[in-house]
Structure 1
Amino acid sequence: MSDWRPIEVLLVEDDQGDILLTKEAFDYNKVRNRLHVVNDGEQAMAYLRKEDGFAEAPRPDLILLDLNLPRMSGMEVLREVKADSALRTIPVVILTTSEAEEDILHSYRLHANAYVSKPVDFEQFIRVVRQIDDFFVTVVKLPAHGQRPWQAHDGPT
């Protein structure tokens, strides 16, 4: 696409193996997006709110969120992100090992944009990361950097 640009991706994941797999999948797929990693829910909220050493952190265009996090669960992060008018427009993809129906339902009730179960197999994991990337970079239109869709607009939508 002529208007392709790298996007800022925030990975919220505490498992170092899964972080490494995600980074390797990005590298393997030659994904040029910028991947930023935080290790727990509280760090995720500090990053998003530009607090506690994250003042210069770029606003993510996409959040990949694990559910099983220390200090603040992924569900709590999702709830806070979607309740915050400055953050709610950031797409959140739940990327987790949980296949529990209640987790899936609860995530969508909290307005997750997608729910993806992490494949155990590396090749399948690479395919999943590629599909997420393809969808959010080449199919979906995201606001340009610096645009704030939560600000006032002219008239009803």
Structure 2
Amino acid sequence: MNGFRDDVILLVDDDRGHARLIEKHLARMGVMQHVIWLDNGRRALDFIFEEGEFDGVKTLRPCLVIADLNMPELGGVHVLSRLKGDERTSSIAVVILTTSDNPAEIEACHELGCDAFLRKPMDSDGFVLVAERIVSLIGDGTISAGE
């Protein structure tokens, strides 16, 4: 699909089932990046900035972060804010997933620089549409899956 095989996609969601569905459908659609799943925003930031449990561990820089908005410990808005607020990571594409349709949350994410805000589906078939949307965003250049 694209030439960025060495990059990784970081999928941050406290619901492992949802994460597996997204990962499966991205792979079926030809996304070649390895998908790394982490269950909360704190672990995601530790991974990206090589802090906490990842201190001293050389991690791969994600080309794309797909984060659930509402998670225990640290949610997607905090991940988005930290990534876009740091010059080392501000170019990483961030897609926020949520079941919320709260206009204030959507606006806040866009103001912080989120590349896309997608509704999390209520059924497994809906995750095909989410994966298709992510792939189309990569394909049309809306989000960059690699540098």
TM tier relative to shorter chain: 0.7 to 0.9
Q: 1:39 Cα deviation (Å)?
A: 0.8
CA offset at residue 105 of structure 1?
0.6
Could you say what secondary structure the match of 1:132 adopts? helix
Q: Secondary structure at the match of 1:18?
A: helix
Cross-structure match for 1:5: 4
1:17 counterpart residue number: 17
Structure 1 residue identity aligned to 2:64: L
Whichever residue aligns with residue 67 of structure 1, its letter is: L
Structure 1 residues not aligned, in runs of 5+: 145-157
Query: Which of residues 70, 91, 95 in structure 2 aligns to 1:93?
Result: 95
Kept in 1, the 8 Å contact 2:4–2:145? The answer is no
- Residue identity opposite 1:35 in structure 2: V
Counterpart check, 1:56 vs 2:45: no
Report whether the alignment pairs 1:111 with 2:113: yes
In the alignment, which residue of structure 1 is the partner of 2:80?
78
The answer (yes or no) to whether the contact 1:8–1:33 under 8 Å persists in 2 is yes
- Percent identity, aligned pairs only, is 30
Q: Which runs of 5+ in 2 are unaligned?
A: none
Task: Please list every run of at least 4 consecutive aligned residues from structure 1 whose deviation after the TM superposition is greater than 6 angstroms.
Answer: none
TM-score (norm 2): 0.85
Aligned pair count reads 142
Q: Which residue of 2 aligns with 1:147?
A: none
**Are 2:33 and 1:33 aligned?**
yes
Tell me how far 1:120 sits from its aligned partner: 2.0
Over the aligned positions, Cα root-mean-square deviation in angstroms equals 1.9
